[in-house]
Structure 1
Amino acid sequence: MKNLFFFIIFLGITFLQVSCKEENHKKKIQLYEGPLSELDGINMTYSDSARLIVRMVTEKQLTMPNDDRVYPKEVKIFFYDRLGNETTNLRGDSARYFRSSNLYKVYRHVVINNTLKGETLKTDELIWNPDQKRVYTDKPVDVYTREEVLHGIGMDANQDFTQYTLRRVTGVVSVKNLPQ
């Protein structure tokens, strides 16, 4: 009887130890994947040799664990010439900065106004590469000038949008001074 009592206690302790070990194996640590910081009321400037080139304004910035920055609210970007005059402005519903490639991507309802030329460009996505000082997209683009409306799929431009090239262009183009 005494042996049976010790045997039952031994089995009970063994069972509890196995149960605890199984519970420990079931618990998995979940890594936090959300933002490391959240800033409100952003007014960021990008300059070169102490000369203002670009200014970005947005309500919120989230810094992610991989150092990417997410701008979940409307983003406004202003481009300036050598004298500090605004030449172009851009707005989009949201944006993201990709730290590993040093690229900014603006999303949804992207509108660019070139105040010098009186032109407006609309697209759903735009990528800015500050290293190459260029802006581009592979998405459909509509350009509204004082004289015409152009449509294309894809665009390449310098970062202040004073010069651009549309890819796969459609639309009516007016040509002046053609030889007769």
Structure 2
Amino acid sequence: MGRPQRAFVDLLDTGLVRGLVLDVGCGTGELSLFLARHGYDVLGVDLSPLAVRRATEKARWRRIAAQFLVWDALDLPRLRAADLSFRTVVDSAMFHVLGDRERDRFVDGLGDVVRPGGLYCVLGDARRTDGDIYGLTPDELRNRFESAGGWEVAFTFRTVFERRWSSNPAYFVGVRRL
């Protein structure tokens, strides 16, 4: 799309982005670059070497100090082992594509890298039917994070996920580490 989703622009405007930021599933880096341009130290991770290469090239062309790594977001505990922790984790459309077990693994991994008081903010397509795996619902997020322990839902908004030529109903949810 060439720009960050509106929900994350609004998040920045509210002052809820703090400290070192992790962008999981960063793709070609637009959200990471946006946050770095606004003065945040950002690490963007993505499973795709091509996406990370493009994000790194954009950062160089735009002269923005953001860092990118080819990394599996389901392996967050290894980031903690490297002594990295984050005050803010942003997720623009990664969680909503994970399978059921992967979602639990990801939530557990977040517990390793999000500092107490830190915030995980996820934007994803709204689940269309109860039986679907794709998409997300605020209730599902609340249940997964409450089951993991040490988290509380800070906010939930119904919004849209914008694509180049269309948009889908979506949710924007923030979950705070206790």
Scaled by the length of structure 1, the TM-score of the pair is: 0.25
Greater per-residue strand proportion: 1
Q: Which has the higher contact order (CA 8 A, sep 6+)?
A: 2
Greater per-residue helix proportion: 2
Scaled by the length of structure 2, the TM-score of the pair is: 0.25
